[in-house]
Homo-oligomer: A and B are copies of this chain.
Amino acid sequence: MQKGLLSVLLVLVALFSGLEGKPDKTTVKKEKRIPQTLSRGWGDQLIWAQTYEEALFWSRSKNKPLIVIFHLEDCPHSQALKKAFAEDKDIQKLADEEFVILNLVYETTDKHLSPDGQYVPRILFVDPSMTVRADITGRYSNRMYAYEPADIKLLLSNMQRALKFLKTEL
């Protein structure tokens, strides 16, 4: 019984030290940390919303569709997609000019943002009327909102679709 408790504690300790250490990977404690960015590497030159509420407010006020990216910093699939996203000039330009953008490492309480489950990476479009566009999907039927780096052009065309919706429906 006590051994079981000990291993649970060890797992928790490992988890928390992982959480705490993240922005500070290569240094020992008390050395200077690199300030955390809102972009988290998805595009330092873009203007990111901090929270879903903020993103919805901007989306409505500016009448721009919202892109919500769910990811995890330690997930290799998230990292690979992030690299492709950050390096794709067309995506970065379109995101900057026509979208409100938000990247999250924690789930929100809004179930509409996980139409087929809470996995990462996962990209959802939300239009300015605050409707989640569950019809804008990626290539995979079991994880409809997942994208791989090879799908980056599909993501771009989905961004263009989200903009087209906006024009045809208003």
Contact = CB atoms under 8 A, between A and B. Distances in A.
Interface of A: 12, 15-16, 19-20, 23-24, 32-33, 35-39, 44-45, 47-48, 50-54, 57-58, 61-62, 104-109
Nearest to A24: B47
A24 B44 CA distance: 12
Copy total for this chain: 2
A45 B27 CA distance: 13
Most buried by B among A20, A44, A50, A104: A50
B16 A50 contact: no
Contacts of A19: 58, 61-62
Nearest to A22: B47
A51 B20 contact: no
A107 B53 CA distance: 8
Contacts of A57: 106
A63 to B, nearest CB: 10
Given A54-B106, A108-B53, A47 B20 contact: yes
A156 B32 CA distance: 23
Contacts of A24: 47
A104 B106 CA distance: 16
Contacts of A38: 35-38, 50
A42 to B, nearest CB: 11
Nearest to A106: B54
A103 to B, nearest CB: 9
A105 to B, nearest CB: 7
